[in-house]
Every structure is written in structure tokens, then in C-alpha cells.
Amino acid sequence: MAPEPPLLSMSGITKSFPGVRALDGVDLDVQAGEVHCLLGQNGAGKSTLIKVLAGAHQPDDGVIRWRGEPVTLRSPIAAMRLGIATIYQELDLVEHLSVAENVHLGHEPTTAGFVVRGRAAKEATGRLLRRLGHPEVDPGRLVGELSAAQQQIVSMARALSHDVRLIVMDEPSAALDPDEVDNLFRIVGGLTADGVAVVYISHRLEEIRRIGDRVTVLKDGRAVAGGLPAKSTPTREVVALMTGRTVEYVFPERPAPPPGDGGTPVLQVRGLARDGEFEPLDLEVRAGEIVGLAGLVGSGRSEILETVYGARRPTAGQVLVDGRPLRPGSVRAAVRAGLGLAPEERKAQALLMLESVTRNVSVSSLSRFARAGWIDRGAERAAARAATRELSLRPDNPAVPVRTLSGGNQQKAVLARWLLRGCRVLLLDEPTRGVDVGARAELYAVVRRLADEGLAVLLVSSEVPEVLGLADRVLVLREGRVVHTAPAPALDEHRVLDLVMEGSQAS
């Protein structure tokens, strides 16, 4: 062991949320002056880990040492005082304040308690921006007027305005074009030369090879490999570490002749595109068929689903149900034609959290229980009960408030809504997000059964095994483009991960 203790050493970090063990005894060592990459699929626990490091989450168990001393990061301010800065993927800047004001937010230079506007802060900001290689950004401009890349620079300048020893960057390259990525790497190089440690999170293996010193791979809340050499570990090995299943899901069996054969397509998507989100896309889903879209965050999965559903207006192309085109950008047209969406953010986009399960289930079919606007509540309750029973929703009492349900049962309530509506095409966006591992198999069985009963299902998931296990056919997406299409049994997880990470080079 080196006589000098590592700058940061986290050991046995455990963090649970209701129903999910997000971190399960994670170890992470970071040396001063190194770029330590954190790798893992969505849901592996990366975000939770950096939130613990930023003081935003408190671990249930485990020890954090800073320069060998055990510390407690009670709040983001406590972490900042130690010299830990975090640059989140969603930049946390105030658009209506200037660059200098954002950089000094929370620690404004003051004189006798009054915030000093102007020179001192602007000059300090200017120095930081020059150090970051962006002298062209004017400290007096409003942050809202800057490009995404410039905003990221501001975020970094803010981190550096503190005496920072460790910077956590959460997918900093996601919103940048190649030139900007080069500049980002120059900045990272400059920081490490000054002895600052960088924890770098990315999905892109090639970036990690370029700037990383060591790699820690997270999977299902555990560090499956710690401190691998970033440049010399073979890609195969890294991918295998990321995907090696520790939890086996039970997927329902596929029907014997693949359901895609022969039948007429219920859902047809022709040349559908949205500028800056995804490129023209063609796909068909037949009755009884489950088609999966596999891809990482930012590959355009959710955007595609929401555009098909009419929640976003396409810039080109059309959606047809039973051969009839839908009015573009109209959710109501889509629902009337028989589409149903189980969105990614269940609580924000699907559920009425103050209401009962019954009312959440019936909300899309109200006119069915109404005569002249008058709701027959008995018929409504009976129908909601039948729909939730069919999906074995627990507790078996649709009068309870939907917020008391577990994630899996809340998802069933959303599915019951579309079952009751009699929908023909089900769009599932991350159907098992926030659902217990144990409850997932049941949800998979429900989806397959609905397909067997004649629904066309379009499934989006960042969990590759889920897409491969559940879907009949799979489209692999990378940065808004379909890079591969194949029957699910013809693909395996490594192949898909190669495709989504390396893209066209690998195919």
C-alpha cells in the first residue's frame, strides 16, 4: 500500500430506497490527480453513489474517508467545504442570473453583508474562465443566453471557484459536439496536472480510454470491479463486467410461431423524425407482437415513444393505426385510435397521486360510464375492479389511494387504465423503472399475456436484458438512429451493448 492514503476512500457504502437497494456495499478509492471513471448501465447505482459523495444522499451504511480521516457528508455544503464539487448532468444554473453571479451563487463576495455587484466577482470569474480555456465567455452575460457547452463551462467554473480537490462529472460529454469534447478533455488534463482528482462518468467507452486512469464498474448496486487500468483492460472484459447478470429475471415464453409473422401491422411508423432528437424511423408492430427499442439514455428512446403517442409533434413522418394516419401531435387522436402510453416518469406523467386507484384507472374511459356527463359510479367501480383484478393488482381494493401502492402495482394501475379503455397498441416506456426485482417477472408476464390477447406492444428500456427477454423483435438505437434490427433470440446482451456503445463501427 502507498504510505499516502488515497484522497477519497469510500467503503461498504449501502443505500436503500423504498423497494430498491440502490447501493449494496460499494467501495471506491480515488487518488489525487487521477481520472477515475465510473462505468455501469442505467440503474447500476452511479447516480446514487455520486449523490452520496456530493452529500445529497446519506448512506445507510459504510465509511467515507477523506485523506484518511473518516468524514460525514451531511449536506452538499459539507461536501463542498471539503473540496468536493459535482457537475450534474442536468446543469443546475440559474438562467436569469449572469455568469459571474452563477459562479458565486451561495458564496457571493460581500462587504459588510452587502453583495458586491460587479468588478471583483466578474474578474474572479474571468480568471476561472481563462483557466478553463474559454476566455470568450463574458462573465456579465445571462446564463440562459449561452450554449449548452458554455453553460457546462460555467458549471465547472463554479466548481473551481471553491478550493476544489475532487470534481465529479456526470456524463459531461453527453450534450457536447466533438470539438467541445476535446476542450473538455484539455480541461480535465489541466485539472489533474494541478493535483485535482476527477470522477468521470460516461457511457462512452472510447472516452474512458482516452482520459481515464482507472475504472470502477458498478452493476446492480455493487462495484464488480474496482480500479482497473482504464487504457489496457479489454473492451470485452469491461462489457462483460457491466452486463454479467447477478439477478436472473424470469421472462415469459414466446409464442411458438413468432407473432410478428403474417399478420397485418396494427401500428406503422413511417419516416417519423424530430430534429435534434431522432432520425427518420420506420417500424411496424403487429397484433400480438412485442417490439423492443434498446438504447442508452440520450439515444432518443423516450422521445420516439412520446412522438408516436402524439405528445411531441414530429418534424417529419407519420404514424398509422390499422393503416389510417393519425393527426400528428395529438394525444387525443392517438388515444381515440387505440394507443396507450405507460410513460417513463409514472408519478409525474401518468398518475393522479391524490386519487384512488379506481379514478386513476377510469380517467381515460370516463365517457363510457357517463350519460349526459353524469358518472355511473357503480359501473365505474366495477369496471376498474375487473381491470385491476385481471392484472392481479395488489391490494385487491381499487378504492385505496394510488400513492399507497408499490411501484409495480402503480404500473399495473396504468396498464389497467389502457386495458379498460380497450387500447390496441401499448407503448411501454421503462416499464420496470422503480419496480422491485421480485415484482418484475410478474409485470413481464402481464405484458406478454396482453400481447397474447392481441395487443401490439412497443417497449422501450435501457435494461438490455429486459428488451431481449421480453420482446419478439429488437431495434437497437444509438444517438437517435436505428443501428440494428433483429429478432430478439438472435441477439445477446454483449452484441447489443457493443452496438449501443460503439455504434456503426462495431456493426
Smallest separation (angstroms) from other proteins to the CB of 401: 8
Among the listed residues 91, 406, 445, 452, the single contact to other proteins using CB under 8 A: 406
Find cell 419478439 and name the residue.
472
Task: Report the distance separating Cα 9 and Cα 31, nearest Å.
Answer: 9
Q: Show the cell assigned to 213.
A: 486512469
Residue 115 or residue 353: which is nearer to other proteins going by CB? 353
Closest Cα partner for 227 from 2, 62, 463? 2
Task: Report the distance separating Cα 139 and Cα 272, nearest Å.
Answer: 41
- 179 burial via Cβ count (<10 Å: 0-12, 13-18, 19+): exposed
Under the binding rule (CB under 8 A), the answer on residue 445 touching other proteins is: no
Residue 404 or residue 507: which is nearer to other proteins going by CB? 404
Among the listed residues 91, 297, 363, 441, the single contact to other proteins using CB under 8 A: 363
Task: Report the distance separating Cα 501 and Cα 51, nearest Å.
Answer: 25
Under the binding rule (CB under 8 A), the answer on residue 439 touching other proteins is: yes
Smallest separation (angstroms) from other proteins to the CB of 396: 6
Residue 157 or residue 305: which is nearer to other proteins going by CB? 305
Among the listed residues 250, 352, 490, 507, the single contact to other proteins using CB under 8 A: 352
Under the binding rule (CB under 8 A), the answer on residue 148 touching other proteins is: no
Q: What DSSP element (H or E) covers 22? A: strand 20-30
Are 202 and 211 a contacting pair, CB within 8 Å? Answer: no
Task: Single out the segment in contact with other proteins by CB under 8 A; choices: 106-114, 183-191, 237-245, 393-401.
Answer: 393-401
Closest Cα partner for 108 from 122, 94, 96, 95? 122
Are 79 and 73 a contacting pair, CB within 8 Å? Answer: yes
Under the binding rule (CB under 8 A), the answer on residue 80 touching other proteins is: no
Residue 184 or residue 405: which is nearer to other proteins going by CB? 405
Among the listed residues 100, 153, 283, 335, the single contact to other proteins using CB under 8 A: 335
Calculate the alpha carbon distances from 164 to 35, 194, 237 in Å: 15, 11, 33
Task: Report the distance separating Cα 65 and Cα 29, nearest Å.
Answer: 9
Under the binding rule (CB under 8 A), the answer on residue 89 touching other proteins is: no
Under the binding rule (CB under 8 A), the answer on residue 276 touching other proteins is: no
Closest Cα partner for 87 from 33, 183, 151? 151
Under the binding rule (CB under 8 A), the answer on residue 247 touching other proteins is: no
Sort strands 110-111 and 114-115 into parallel, antiparallel or unpaired. Answer: antiparallel
Residue 241 or residue 350: which is nearer to other proteins going by CB? 350
Task: Single out the segment in contact with other proteins by CB under 8 A; choices: 41-49, 135-143, 319-327, 332-340.
Answer: 332-340
Among the listed residues 325, 377, 422, 454, the single contact to other proteins using CB under 8 A: 377
Smallest separation (angstroms) from other proteins to the CB of 425: 13
Smallest separation (angstroms) from other proteins to the CB of 399: 4
Among the listed residues 16, 24, 364, 494, the single contact to other proteins using CB under 8 A: 364
Under the binding rule (CB under 8 A), the answer on residue 444 touching other proteins is: no
Question: H helices then E strands: how many in the chain?
Answer: 17, 24
Under the binding rule (CB under 8 A), the answer on residue 349 touching other proteins is: yes
Smallest separation (angstroms) from other proteins to the CB of 334: 8
Are 90 and 175 a contacting pair, CB within 8 Å? Answer: no
Under the binding rule (CB under 8 A), the answer on residue 250 touching other proteins is: no
- Tell me the DSSP string of 255-276: PSS-TTSSSPEEEEEEEEEETT
- Helix, strand, or coil here: 8? strand
Footprint on residues 408-437 left by other proteins (CB under 8 A): 409, 417, 421
Number of residues that this document lists for the chain: 507
Q: Show the cell assigned to 84.
A: 468536493
Output phi, psi for 15, to 5 deg.
-150, 125
Torsion, Cα of 218, 219, 224, 230 (10° steps): -40
Smallest separation (angstroms) from other proteins to the CB of 419: 14
Residue 64 or residue 384: which is nearer to other proteins going by CB? 384
Under the binding rule (CB under 8 A), the answer on residue 326 touching other proteins is: no
Interface positions with other proteins (CB under 8 A): 309, 311, 331-332, 335-336, 341, 343, 348-356, 358-359, 363-364, 366-367, 370, 373-375, 377-378, 381-382, 385, 394-397, 399-401, 404-406, 409, 417, 421, 438-439
